[in-house]
Structure 1
Amino acid sequence: MKLTLPYQGLLRASRLAVLSAAALLAAGQLQAGEPSAKAPAPVIEPEAPFVTGTLSLMVDTHFVSYGQDVWAAGQSWQDPLFHPSLELNFNLGSGFSFILGTWWDVNDNAASSIGDRIQEVDVWAGFGYAVGDWKFTLLYQAWMYGSSTEEIVDFKVAYSSFLNPYILLHGRTDRGAATTFGEGLVVQAGIAPGASLGPVSLSFPIALSYDTYDFHGGQAGFGFASAGVSASIPLTKSITANIGATYYYTNDNVIVTNPDEGFVMGSAGITVTF
């Protein structure tokens, strides 16, 4: 049947509408799932390195071991000591880490049983666990001096905040060459609030301790109190210069070998992180 002109126009209009709808549907299908040009790029967190480390090269006026003035320097600063240390942290994932470290006491105060001027070599190994602002650390330490080894187990709980409080249980399980001391425990608690002065980082550590009987050759009770200030000055991205001073007040009924109940220890050196 031959269509009249009005019907032909209506048919053409219908076809055009169908084609337009099909074109719009196809365009929508092609764009489905494509990111918007204005969408932010995904944030990719940098992967934590497997090994990190800290090398410290410090010169100290005293060797202080939990309140004990080991070389009996007292109030003198005339005989500085070199104390290098190195600690490595291995990232085990899920907040766990494996820790290895060493610390040396180098001076000419006595004939060395190790060699040259190396009076003591300490090594430690253990594990750390961090969750939120909490960190837990368990270490076994071997302190080698005087042709013998003093064995230590440390457990520390720390909380990262303005005050940075912590508590440390320091247990001597084998006295080694420390023949005038016994096995036992030191409980130390402290804080270390910090501040910044331009690029300089300041820390104000304060600590108190309690000794069990005969740990430092004396009675059980309050062992020492200390308060200090230290400054870290960045030299490069990974190297800082450090300087500080700490005042110690010790109880001579508990820590019996110190020549003075009160003394100030000074420290200076550099720290390299990698």
Structure 2
Amino acid sequence: MKLILPYQSLLRSSLLAVLSAAALLTAGQTQAGTPSGKAPEPIVEPEAPFITGSLSLMVDTHFVSYGQDVWAAGQSWQDPLFHPSIELNFNLGGGFSFILGSWWDVNDNAVSDIGNRIQEVDVWAGISYAAGDWKFTLLYQDWMYSESTEQIVDFKISYTHFLNPYFLIHSRPDGGEFLESVGFDDGIVAQVGIAPGCSMGPVSLSFPVAVSYDTKNFHGGQAGLGFASAGVTASIPLTKAITASIGATYYYTNDLVIPGNPDEGFVMGSAGITVVF
């Protein structure tokens, strides 16, 4: 006769209870319909915010408008310019966005017609459509300076790729009284460019290259190649939302097409911070 001690009986009862619970749990899991018995967690895509934007505070050595050296700085870096800008993007869904923005030229190069040292205020509104790696953007702009308003319509096609190529039609349907007085006509600038980039640790590098073609008298000269440019920009994040950048761009401009520039070739430097939100 085998003697079973009390503690052995208690251990056997506990073991039987655990095995019974495990059997019930396994049966319930089998009925769940997956081999492991655990349903996969649903994948929830984060909802895109309705409003995003960026604030840029840049200091530039030149004000270059499609190859035109506006303040005739030439090869000098002695008179830096402050160029703040802001842009808001409203997510309309289906790949569409509504865009609002403004850019200012602030310096003491002339007596301002706007106030203080604000020489020019540009505002724009438009719409963009993104489909895969393609993006199409249409903007209407008012450039306000010298008691005059220059009206601009831009259409840009860009493609997300290592080279980041783009094609831009920059049109001037109405140049305003000031441009008419200096012999500039309404017309078009066609521009193509690329902006390949790479990273070196936390530093992001971009190498923008562009060329443009002007219609006759757009910048007061002949029709033809207006400018070619190549540059480098280095950016480093300071926080999740703030990035500092510094860069330089060389411009070759055709004095037959853009006759007002003091030098055919010059380098523009820039530095500043950008805040995204």
Q: Smaller-chain TM-score range? A: 0.7 to 0.9
Q: TM-score normalised to the size of structure 2?
A: 0.87
Distance of 2:28 and 2:274 partners within structure 1: 60
Q: Is the 8 A contact 2:237 2:244 kept in 1?
A: yes
- Please give the alpha-carbon distance, in whole angstroms, between the structure 2 residues aligned to 1:240 and 1:38: 44
Distance 1:37 1:141 in 2: 60
Map residues 115-126 of structure 1 onto 2, 5 A cutoff.
115-126=115-126
Q: Quick one: which of 169, 180, 183 aligns to 2:186?
A: 183
Between Structure 1 and Structure 2, how many residues are aligned?
249
Gaps of 5+ in 2: 1-23
SS in 1 for 2:161: coil
**Structure 1 residue runs of 4+, over 4 Å off?**
27-30, 32-37
Q: C-alpha distance in 1, partners of 2:257/2:98?
A: 34
Matches within 5 A, 1:112-191: 112-176=112-176, 177-179=178-180, 180=182, 181-191=184-194
2:99 is aligned to 99
Quote the residue 2:231 is aligned against.
228
2:249 is the counterpart of 1:209: no
For 1:37 and 1:62, the matched residues in 2 are separated by: 67
CA-to-partner distance for each residue in 1:70-128, whole Å, 9 max, x for gaps? 00000000000000000000000000000000000000000000000000000000000
Residues 226-271 of structure 1, C-alpha deviations (whole Å, 9 max, x = no match): 0000011100000000100000000000001000000000000000
TM-score in terms of structure 1 length = 0.88
Please state whether the residue corresponding to 1:178 is helix, strand or coil. Answer: helix
Question: Amino acid of the residue matched to residue 79 of structure 1?
Answer: D
Q: Deviations over 1:118-148 (max 9, x none)?
A: 0000000000000000000000000000111
Match of 1:4 in 2: none
Q: 1:40 offset after TM fit, Å?
A: 3.1
Question: Structure 2 counterpart of 1:194, which letter?
Answer: G
> Alignment RMSD, CA only?
1.7
Separation in structure 2 between the aligned mates of residue 189 and residue 32 of structure 1, nearest angstrom: 58
SS in 2 for 1:62: coil
SS of structure 1 residue aligned to 2:231: strand
- In the alignment, the residues of structure 1 paired with residue 28 and residue 77 of structure 2 have an alpha-carbon distance, to the nearest angstrom, of 81
Letter in 2 for 1:60: D
Cα shift at 1:34: 8.2
Which structure 2 residues correspond to residues 63-102 of structure 1 after superposition, within 5 A? 63-102=63-102
Identity of aligned residues (%): 79
Shift of 1:29: 11
* Alpha-carbon distance between aligned partners in 2 of 1:66 and 1:240, rounded to the nearest angstrom: 26
- 1: distance between equivalents of 2:81 and 2:158? 29
Q: Which runs of 5+ in 1 are unaligned?
A: 1-23
Structure ID, larger Rg: 1
